[in-house]
Structure 1
Amino acid sequence: MPGPQLIEIDDPADPRLADYRDLRDVQLRQHLEAEHGLFLAEGEKVVRRAVEGGYTPRSFLMAPRWLAGLDDVLSAGDAPVYVVSEALAEEVTGFHVHRGALASLQRRPLPSVDDVLAGARSVLVLEDLVDHTNVGAVFRSGAALGFDAVLLAPRCADPLYRRSIKVGMGAVFALPWTRLPDWHGALPDLSARGFTTVALTLAADSVPIEEAVSGVERLALVLGSEGHGLSDRWEESADRRAIIPMSAGIDSLNVAAASAVACYVAARR
């Protein structure tokens, strides 16, 4: 097998590095990645999982000391491997790439809801989470605790944004997911498909999560945004409403922590 296509670059303005510029500028990156249909993976494990998950690399950006660990991945296709010093990588990306490896990969068309739900017994449904870190953490909890898929409301943060992928340790590559085309009717549609929709919310008729998921065969666990939680529409149209019982006058957890607790309980129903 031929070795990877290594290209050494020492000019931070080199146009071939365009995919990797200004990674801290969220708005710029969202525009760039949507326009060019790409996303970035960071770190040896995550880059490997992205490629093994079937995403096609556009290119790799590597510090020399990380080449050996990813040699099989770099050699498997014909994407160029841009080899740069760690100082130059930091200058281009805007932060210290302490994991030493970045890849730019092609996005794929999102699958249909039918395809994502085929054979699924437990799914997560996210409404308007705006923090990429939280989205990545929820994917990680779902994958680790046996959920089969994730559905995102139209305004939910991008799970293929670099920080989402990094926090989720590449779980987005292992867990089927898509965006819901119809926000208003999303939960009734899931009910019609045979799922019991259980919304985590502080509503007056909420019951403890263990009780809400007991006996449920096909579960859709519904989580709301970081600020105001679920919209009135989703809260009211869920089949059941649930809480995680709290102590010490605390009424709720961060959505990432809540997802871990709820997924753990749901996996043991």
Structure 2
Amino acid sequence: MAGLIEIDRVDDPRLADYRDLRDVELRKHLEAQHGLFLAEGEKVVRRAVEAGYHPRSFLMAPRWLDTLADVLAASEAPCYVVSGAVAEEVTGFHVHRGALASLRRRPLPDLADVLAGARSILVLEDIVDHTNVGAIFRSGAGLGFDAVVLAPRCADPLYRRSVKVAMGAVFALPWTRLPDWYDALPMLSAAGFTTVALTLAPDAVPLAEAVADLDKVALVLGSEGHGLSEHWQRAADRRAIIEMSGGIDSLNVAAASAVACYVTSRRVGPENRRVGR
């Protein structure tokens, strides 16, 4: 069982994993150096532990000790019990959910292992906003997608904000980073996926038309500012658009991913077609 350790000093070195959570660059360096990530909130902490991530420690206000008693009972990691004021000064923000955990990262799986058995995957190119990455994972997990693959420069799905927005979906949906950006889409095509790029390109067709009757689909989404690179647009097997009205040409990438996942999840692939249909 996790040992309960009361701490009342903000400079206590045992709280190092939780310092300055609003400083993105500092946190990325610290988390990479020590191989850790943070989960925030009772549900997310629970889902991370249930997914098999090993806690380094917990940081909690006293009121959360009973709610997470079963999680603490199953862990040998220390639980630092602090007041709201100490938590706020250490982390740099009001920890209104009251519970944090520092967990050990795992090595990223091979791409082949992530793709094994998958029929619907999301492919993200240079999406750098952690909130958007978390929202995309949540949409993918909730709408039946099997995996996510990231270009090398995409934001970290295990960054605290991504994990929080995803409500722990980053623990449920297999994911990894692509080993190569330039030939990534042909590589996925060779693995049996039809790559469908969401783009405003002149030859883009409505998404429902682009994914109709496909078996294995890789939906390809681009960065927040410029969308997909020209190279990935040309490399995709198909180019698709979400039809809009009211003079609006596109959606935020997180909203677009939700619509695209929904449309794609409703396609009728070859394995679902009845004879004579």
Q: What residue in structure 2 maps to residue 111 of structure 1?
A: 109
Q: Which residue identity lines up with residue 141 of structure 1 in the other structure?
A: S
State the SS of the aligned residue for 2:122.
Answer: strand
Displacement of 1:216 after TM fit? Answer: 0.7
Q: Which runs of 4+ in 1 moved over 3 A?
A: none
- Paired with 2:70 and 2:140, the residues of 1 have a C-alpha distance of 29
Aligned counterpart for 2:159 among listed residues 158, 161, 169 = 161
Q: What residue in structure 1 maps to residue 190 of structure 2?
A: 192
The answer to whether the aligner puts 1:133 opposite 2:131 as a matched pair is: yes
- Paired with 2:114 and 2:79, the residues of 1 have a C-alpha distance of 33
Displacement of 1:191 after TM fit? Answer: 0.4
* CA deviation string 1:230-268 (max 9, x = no partner): 011110000000000000111000000000000000000
Displacement of 1:47 after TM fit? Answer: 0.2
The answer to whether the aligner puts 1:41 opposite 2:18 as a matched pair is: no
Displacement of 1:77 after TM fit? Answer: 1.5
Contact 1:125 1:151 (C-alpha < 8 Å) held by counterparts:
yes
Q: Which residue identity lines up with residue 69 of structure 2 in the other structure?
A: D
Q: Which residue identity lines up with residue 234 of structure 2 in the other structure?
A: E
- Paired with 2:188 and 2:232, the residues of 1 have a C-alpha distance of 12
Aligned counterpart for 1:29 among listed residues 27, 30, 38 = 27
Q: What residue in structure 2 maps to residue 122 of structure 1?
A: 120
The answer to whether the aligner puts 1:90 opposite 2:68 as a matched pair is: no
Aligned counterpart for 1:19 among listed residues 9, 14, 17 = 17
Q: Identity percentage over the alignment? A: 80
Displacement of 1:108 after TM fit? Answer: 0.4
Q: Which residue identity lines up with residue 163 of structure 2 in the other structure?
A: I
* CA deviation string 1:12-42 (max 9, x = no partner): 0000000000000000000000000000000
- Paired with 2:193 and 2:66, the residues of 1 have a C-alpha distance of 46
Displacement of 1:181 after TM fit? Answer: 0.5
- Structure 2 residue runs of 5 or longer lacking an equivalent are 268-277
* CA deviation string 1:98-117 (max 9, x = no partner): 00000000000000000000
- Structure 1 residue runs of 5 or longer lacking an equivalent are none
Q: Which residue identity lines up with residue 245 of structure 1 in the other structure?
A: E
| Matched residue count | 267
Q: CA RMSD in A?
A: 0.5
* CA deviation string 1:130-153 (max 9, x = no partner): 100000000000000000000000
> What TM-score does the superposition give when structure 2 sets the normalisation length?
0.96
Displacement of 1:75 after TM fit? Answer: 1.1
Aligned counterpart for 1:243 among listed residues 225, 241, 244 = 241
Alignment of 1:189-268 (within 5 A): 189-268=187-266
Displacement of 1:55 after TM fit? Answer: 0.4
State the SS of the aligned residue for 1:59.
Answer: strand
The answer to whether the aligner puts 1:61 opposite 2:49 as a matched pair is: no
Displacement of 1:4 after TM fit? Answer: 3.1
- Paired with 2:92 and 2:187, the residues of 1 have a C-alpha distance of 43
Aligned counterpart for 2:174 among listed residues 173, 176, 182 = 176
- Paired with 1:74 and 1:104, the residues of 2 have a C-alpha distance of 13
Aligned counterpart for 1:9 among listed residues 7, 10, 28 = 7
Q: What residue in structure 1 maps to residue 272 of structure 2?
A: none
Q: Which residue identity lines up with residue 6 of structure 2 in the other structure?
A: E
State the SS of the aligned residue for 1:105.
Answer: strand
Contact 1:244 1:252 (C-alpha < 8 Å) held by counterparts:
yes
- Paired with 2:241 and 2:114, the residues of 1 have a C-alpha distance of 27
Q: What residue in structure 2 maps to residue 70 of structure 1?
A: 68
